[in-house]
Chain A
């Protein structure tokens, strides 16, 4: 936990931030509209005596006050998907449309892939890429349980995902990261954190994001997200691609965000990165997340 002290000057109400770390994260789920309407699912929950609270910012997100929500028959049957609250943000920012061609570059276990699929109403195509063979099975299993028909799964190294034969309308890079924002799900993630680890991840993340931009049509949208606070893995990654894409500010009514930081380790960053969004656990009673929305420059092929 001492590791988080490096963010004392960066995070508002730092003591509140530290205090919330020891509280378990509330369970939450997303209603899978590929299989059930929201009102029908809520009727089911009422009938089965399942308590829930809708998110302030997303009608398909519900907080569940229970142990092991994964065992609910509604989850096993694919009417809901157990998904962390903030994990539902990147697909909303990506805003995929029915009929488009979309790439989820780091897809498994597929919570965001399936949310993208449902936003596209099972139309168009989502390519879900996952380099790890062991992580293909849970990705497939989630897609099939949720009734997803428009996803095809590939297994490339995301840094070398082939840039031919097509370019994508939108690409999501939910990058591997040091996961500091997941501390509330179970202590232990922070003991692996170090500056060296974040810088190693930075190289991987910047390579993934660079390739994602190359894979996107000019004028297309790339969303980059992590579940960590480390600026090395967030703003510093975004800053490295600003010659090929521009940032668009993110605003989700009902969800409190802080702007990206523009100074770290005594060095000033490109001021544009303040258009990114940082989500802190004590402000919304969630985990921690970072999200950036990029528009690929028209002149960059």
Chain B
């Protein structure tokens, strides 16, 4: 990559809509769910904004960051799933009341699901809570730290959660990583 490439300059490049197929493949979200939006790539992230005038200025953010492409598999943001996730038809998990609270606290849950290993859309009472990472009966909450409910657990358990997350990732089939 040349030093002058926009990737290294970290600016927003307009992106065509071909990547929305990824959302279809993983979650069954139809491309029509993304109608009316425009997309950008900045470094390893994809951003979505409504279609409207965008003056030629230097931007820190345009709309919402919806995907992280840094790792394999790509990761949807919780914010994006709260907007687009309700259209999902597969790789989704519905939680009961007690589990939804634990999920919002950022915990790892023991859940049996027929979802494929990898990122899933997590629902409670028909509402999208956010992104989870599922593998072999374990669901690791991906709710960002600042949006988690207060939890009673201590720091040692926090790091146990991180271990659980790494474990789930390492159990995923290679093509998913």
Contacts and interface: CB of A to CB of B under 8 A. Distances in A.
A143 interface: yes
Interface stretch (A4-12, A21-29, A69-77, A291-299): A69-77
A150 interface: yes
Contact of A149 (B50, B56, B59): B50
A166 B65 contact: no
Interface stretch (B24-32, B143-151, B160-168): B143-151
Q: Count chain B CB atoms within 10 A of each CB in A73, A99, A123, A124 and give the residue with the most.
A: A73
Interface in A23-76: 35, 71, 73, 76
B152 interface: no
A77 B129 CA distance: 7
B63 A150 contact: yes
B1 interface: no
Given A125-B52, A149-B50, A136 B82 contact: no
B15 interface: no
A78 B63 contact: no
Interface residues of B, number: 30
Contacts of A124: 52-53
A153 B82 contact: no
A153 B49 contact: no
A154 B63 contact: no
A127 interface: yes
A58 B63 CA distance: 27
A76 B50 contact: no
A159 interface: no
Nearest to A35: B82
A140 B47 CA distance: 12
Given A145-B79, A152-B61, A125 B53 contact: yes
Nearest to B82: A147
B17 to A, nearest CB: 15
B104 interface: yes
B55 to A, nearest CB: 5
A73 B149 contact: yes
Contact of A151 (B48, B63, B146): B63
6 contacts: A125-B50, A125-B52, A125-B55, A127-B55, A149-B49, A153-B62
Interface of B: 37, 48-50, 52-65, 77, 79, 82-83, 104, 127, 129, 146-150
